[in-house]
Amino acid sequence: MIKQSLHGIWTLKPADKKLSLSKKDLSVQFPGDIHSALLEQDIICDPYYAKNELDVQWVGQNDWICEKEFLVKKNFIQGQQFIILDTVDTYVHVFVNNIEAGFCNNFFKKWRFPVSSLIKEGKNTIKLVFESAEKHAVQRASDYPYAVPCSNFDVFSPNRNFSRKPQCHSGWDWGPCIMAFGIYNSIELVQTSKGFIDYVETKIVKGKAEWDVDVVTHYTALSDCTIPFTVSLSGPGINTITEEESIKVTKGDNCISQHLTVKNPELWYPSGCSPKDDESIIKTGKPAFIDNPLYSLSVKASGASVEKKIAFRTLETVSKKDKDGLSLFFKINDRSVFSKGSNWIPLDALPSRQTPERYENLLDSLVKANMNTVRVWGGGMYEKDIFYEICDRKGILIWHDFMFACGLYPTNKEFLDSVRDEVKHQVLRLKDHPSIALWCGNNENLGSLGWYAEAKSNRDLYLIDYDRLNEGVVGDEVRKNDPDRMWWPSSPCAGPNNFEDNWKEDSKGDMHYWDVWHGKKSFDAYYAIKPRFVSEFGYQSFPSYSTVKTYAAEKDMNLTSPVMEFHQRSPSGNTIMIENFARYFRFPKSIRDMLYLSQVQQSVAMRTAIDYWRSLRPYCMGSIIWQLNDNCPVASWSSIEYTGKWKLMHYDAVKFFAPVGLSLYIKDNILYACGLNDTQQHIASELTLSFIGFDGKKIDKDIVLKKELKPDSSSILYSSPVEALPKEKNSYAVIASLSYSGGSITATAFPALYKHCELLEPEISYELAEKETKTGRVFEIVLNAKNPAFFVGLDSGSSKGVFSDNLFTLLPSKKCKILFTPENKKVTFSKFKKEFTVYNLRGTY
């Protein structure tokens, strides 16, 4: 087999000759997208700045032609030739030497077209005609016999549910409408005389003394023949295992099976859950953060080859009826795991910007925040290989939606056949990743049956359509191709074979809880539910000032300016945040204070929910925040800004998701202090509760309790009616500290509303220094305060990097040392020093 890449520079032009552009002789880089190419050549303006997004809609509404010449050598003409395209967006005619070789119409499929009769020795041309997905969707919807509704937002491309492309490309309540075109993975010319390895899948089963590895290779043969076939496996702690033989294959599809036996492999664990993690947590308070043991599987068949990583672990998704309803949690290597994590959306609306470095940074940030789970949301895409490779390596469990979201879908034969091919391809492509814990049919499609007038008036029609697609196609392909992994029909739902609306049901399966944000309830509404597994909940904040500056001019720095409201896609989003400023806090005095306070508010909301839900373990076994990342600079629910900068909530997640943690909350006028232990070790701990006046003086004796934290548990260490606490509730804070062999973790609670507290000016001072350590260059910040400072927030401006701690309580007469680790050598100390800012709650008014 010989492969010839067609990557590189292609010519680019609109298909409509009447479309006048400011430049001719345009080009596009593949892999890459057309919008990015037009932006680089100044044909369009930055769609992320101000309201420019409105001015680039014409790009997605037109067709585009891309061409390239390529040379074919004499030896390439032997055998048969094919064009293979992977991740093509979306409706694309492929021409070789002006003859059509094939048509792509599903972003999520891999395409292979025979071109033996089309290519020649010497110079050849390939032309790709990208047709507007919006036009296709509108036409398909128009041709359909009845309306098929889906959710739309302020700026949107209509009928997105009729096209198999990332649904969020059409616009969402956190992202832009950029109907991208392009090739995002690969396009290549392949020559072979024998055939192709389409997929390699494994079934790994733990035996009494060894592990059985069954390897099945899907091979497409071009003719009846005998081929040499080799399977080898190597990795930590084992000698390389190799099986070689000659295999007779018949023209067409073949499945070739091999059996391997492995003794004593090292086991794969989610981050924070391995025995090494337990040991590290007991000693240092942090997981080991070491890469998982992965094993290299190589399959070769007559010139074709596939190499992939596999791992050894047992996986069980536990969903059983009990006296309270239906449980849901993951068990890895017989250990029950509390899922702590976040939801993932595509990391950029411009696909060319989806770089390996950004994948690594975001997923590393997830793990560093003591998370072990990520949910790949159904309105995005089956991710690039690097995403799964990083999750495998870092030990991130994946709740994986199929790519259907917030709507109903057509069920004509053409659509269902395309989806069936898509699902089979993606399951066989991804199933061997040890990180994937569960397949979920869609995001909120079951619930959406109750959203639209059409479905409400004719529920039977749309319910049958839902079942035909979700169970008859998606679920059917999962059960055929990955029967050992849990099929979860929808998120949220009450489990397989249950079509109940699970939006308000907290005792069964997973739930999405949006009463606080969309329902505008107070934060203590999180205490009103007792969930089994929450796969979506969130609260918005604005990005920091340095990020807002990337889309708003100084004149637009007002929360109700047209630009700031344009970069808020959730209906009434800014109003909700502003109203809660008034509900909980004294109103901030400046735009910078508002941006900071929004991030404090977001963190308070998420901590309120997570502190309580973690305390319910083992009844509740999952808290998955909406959302981890942004695909453009915008106000949203993310914990990490579009620029990669951690919001204050992400820093707080390090603490409220800590493996040995402390939940301090007031529910029903009772103060609770709960100890959390996510290790398999008994931990001796000491809880100290102090009552600190806002002048820094203790107003009562400390309460000190010695408690043992049982393995994988939560326990109430202390509780007291608020009325039994010291009086004048607006004059002090309760500061709790849980100490153990790995260190200590603190939490702060206020018996009164923040706005009722008579805080004093903390008068914070600080010193900055650049230092070299064994692990590299850091910027040291040493802080002091005359009076207690609450919700201290450190901001590095546009200097990229991570603080060792952030969003904390700073007490007087106690120096606090924080380290800032710059992202790279380009981050200078002089720039950091110039942009560094310290915020605190009292400083906002």
Tell me if 803 sits within 8 A of 780, measured CB to CB.
no
Strand stretches in 366-443, DSSP E: 373-376, 397-401, 436-440
Nearest to 845 by CA among 787, 759, 785: 759
Find all residues with CB under 8 Å of 575, minimum gap 6, and list them.
none
pLDDT at 191: 97
Task: State the Cα–Cα distance between residues 304 and 273, nearest whole angstrom.
Answer: 38
The low-confidence residues of the chain, meaning pLDDT below 70, are none
pLDDT at 504: 85
Nearest to 412 by CA among 109, 131, 140, 137: 140
Task: State the Cα–Cα distance between residues 57 and 157, nearest whole angstrom.
Answer: 9
Nearest to 605 by CA among 583, 633, 634: 583
Tell me if 328 sits within 8 A of 532, measured CB to CB.
yes
User: How confident is the model over 461-512, as pLDDT tens digits?
Assistant: 999 999 999 999 999 999 999 999 999 999 999 999 998 888 888 999 999 9
pLDDT at 209: 83
Strand stretches in 456-588, DSSP E: 486-488, 511-512, 534-536
Find all residues with CB under 8 Å of 572, minimum gap 6, and list them.
none
Q: Indicate the length of the chain as a whole number.
A: 845
Tell me if 221 sits within 8 A of 1, measured CB to CB.
no
Tell me if 403 sits within 8 A of 167, measured CB to CB.
yes
Nearest to 485 by CA among 442, 437, 452, 443: 437
- Order of strands, sheet of 703-709, starting from the edge strand that comes earlier in the sequence: 703-709, 683-693, 732-740, 743-749
Q: Residue 242, preceding bond cis, omega within 30 degrees?
A: no
pLDDT at 501: 80
User: How confident is the model over 802-812, as pLDDT tens digits?
Assistant: 999 999 999 99
Question: Count of CB atoms within 10 A of residue 327's CB?
Answer: 20
| 473-477-480 Cα angle (round to 5) | 140
Tokens of 338: 């509390």
Task: State the Cα–Cα distance between residues 338 and 267, nearest whole angstrom.
Answer: 19
Which segments of 73-118 does DSSP mark as H helices, in order? Answer: none
